[in-house]
Structure 1
Amino acid sequence: MSNFLNEKIDTPKRDGLIVDNFPPADVFSVTLRAVDKAVNLERGTVLALSTGTAGDKKMVVLGTEAATNETLEANCILCDDTEVGTADVIGLAYRTGHFARNQLIAVESYELTKTDEEALRKGGILLSDAMNY
Structure 2
Amino acid sequence: MSKRLDENLGYVGPDNLIADMYPPTDPFMVKIRKEATAAATYKRGTVLALSAGTAGDGKFMILGTTAATNETLTANCVLAEDAEVGTDADAVAIAYRTGHFNENVLTVAAGYTLKPADKEALRTAGILLSDAVEI
Do Structure 1 and Structure 2 share a fold, with TM-score over 0.5? Answer: yes
Distance in 1 (alpha carbons) for counterparts of 2:47 and 2:107: 6
Structure label with greater radius of gyration? 1
2:40 is aligned with 1:39:
yes
1:101 matched residue in structure 2: 103
Q: Provide the aligned C-alpha RMSD in A.
A: 1.3
Q: In 2, Cα distance between the equivalents of 1:94 and 1:30?
A: 10
Moved over 2 A (4+): none
Work out which of the residue numbers 89, 92, 106 in structure 2 matches 1:90.
92
Distance 1:12 1:68, change over 3 A: closer
The one-letter code matched in structure 1 to 2:118 is D
Unmatched runs of 5 consecutive residues or more in structure 2: 1-7
Distance in 1 (alpha carbons) for counterparts of 2:97 and 2:81: 13
* TM-score normalised by the chain length of structure 2: 0.89
Identical positions, percent: 56
* Corresponding residue for residue 63 of structure 2: 62
Residue aligned with 2:113, SS: coil
TM-score w.r.t. length of structure 1: 0.91
User: Which blocks of at least 5 consecutive residues in structure 1 are unaligned?
Assistant: 1-8
Q: Which residue of 1 aligns with 2:21?
A: 21
Give the letter aligned to residue 64 of structure 2.
Answer: G
2:132 is the alignment partner of 1:130:
yes
Distance 1:13 1:92 in 2: 17
